C-alpha cells in the first residue's frame, strides 16, 4: 500500500517503486499468464506504459521486452493490438518498432512543443502546413523501415500533459484545428478524454 512517501510491501518500506526483474523466466511466465487471463476475458490487446523504463537507459533491452510481449500476444492471435508509451524523441521511439509491436505513441507531434502546436503557432516556414505534411510522410516512412506493419499512434495530449486550451491561450479556432490535424493523421489516432471534455 502507498503511504504518500513510498510503499509498504510485506513489511518492507520502499521509497521508490521496485522494478520487476523482466529477465527472470519465472516472472515472464507469470506475466504471460496474466496477459492470457485478460485476453480470454475478451480484451483486444494492451497499452504498455513507460516502456523505455523497463530497463532505464537501455533501449536494446527495452526493445527485447517489447518483442517478447508482442511475440507472446500475437502468437495467440494476430488480431490483438499492442501500443507502447516511449516518451522520447522520434529518433529514439521509432527504433522501438523493431520489436514488431503494432504502435508506439508519437510524441513528436504532441504536446506544447510538438509539430501540431508549432504549426498552428506558426513562427516561420519550418512550421508551415507543408512542413507538417512532410513531417507526417517522414514519420510514416521511418516507422516502416523498422517494422513493415507499423501503425503510427498519433495523439495530441494525454493524462501527463496540459490541455490544448492552454497551448493556444483559449483560441477556439486553433483548439479545433489541432483536434482536426490530430484526427486526420495516418495510423491509429488516440484522443484523451480530457480534451473531449474541454
Based on its alpha-carbon atoms, the radius of gyration of the chain, rounded to whole angstroms, reads: 19
Q: Sort strands 45-48 and 7-9 into parallel, antiparallel or unpaired.
A: unpaired
Active-site residue (options: 10, 49, 78, 125): 49
Torsion (CA) 164, 170, 176, 182 in degrees, nearest 10 = -20
The sign of the CA dihedral 7, 64, 160, 190 is: negative
Q: Any idea what the Cα angle at residue 156 is, between residues 155 and 159, rounded to 5°?
A: 90
- Whether 85 sits among the annotated catalytic residues: the reply is yes
Active-site residue (options: 85, 102, 152, 195): 85
The sign of the CA dihedral 32, 62, 150, 196 is: positive
Interior/surface letters 134-162, b for 16+ CB within 10 angstroms, e for the rest:
ebbeebbebbeebbeebbbbbbbbbeebe
Residues with catalytic function = 49, 85
Amino acid at each position: 500500500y502507498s503511504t504518500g512517501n513510498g510503499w509498504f510491501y510485506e513489511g518492507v518500506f520502499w521509497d521508490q517503486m521496485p522494478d520487476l526483474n523482466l529477465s527472470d523466466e519465472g516472472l515472464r511466465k507469470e506475466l504471460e499468464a496474466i496477459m492470457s487471463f485478460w485476453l480470454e476475458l475478451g480484451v483486444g490487446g494492451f497499452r504498455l506504459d513507460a516502456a523505455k523504463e523497463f530497463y532505464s537507459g537501455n533501449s536494446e533491452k527495452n526493445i527485447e521486452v517489447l518483442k517478447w510481449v508482442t511475440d507472446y500476444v500475437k502468437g495467440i492471435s494476430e488480431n490483438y493490438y499492442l501500443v507502447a508509451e516511449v516518451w522520447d524523441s522520434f529518433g529514439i521511439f521509432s527504433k522501438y518498432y523493431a520489436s514488431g509491436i503494432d504502435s508506439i505513441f508519437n510524441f513528436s507531434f504532441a504536446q506544447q512543443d510538438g509539430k501540431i502546436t508549432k504549426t498552428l503557432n506558426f513562427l516561420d516556414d519550418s512550421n508551415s502546413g507543408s512542413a507538417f505534411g512532410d513531417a507526417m510522410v517522414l514519420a510514416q516512412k521511418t516507422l516502416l523501415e523498422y517494422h513493415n506493419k507499423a501503425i503510427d499512434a498519433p495523439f495530441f495530449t494525454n493524462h501527463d500533459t496540459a490541455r490544448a486550451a492552454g497551448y493556444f491561450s483559449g483560441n477556439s479556432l486553433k483548439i479545433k484545428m489541432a483536434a482536426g490535424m490530430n484526427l486526420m493523421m495516418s495510423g491509429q489516432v488516440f484522443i484523451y478524454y480530457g480534451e473531449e471534455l474541454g
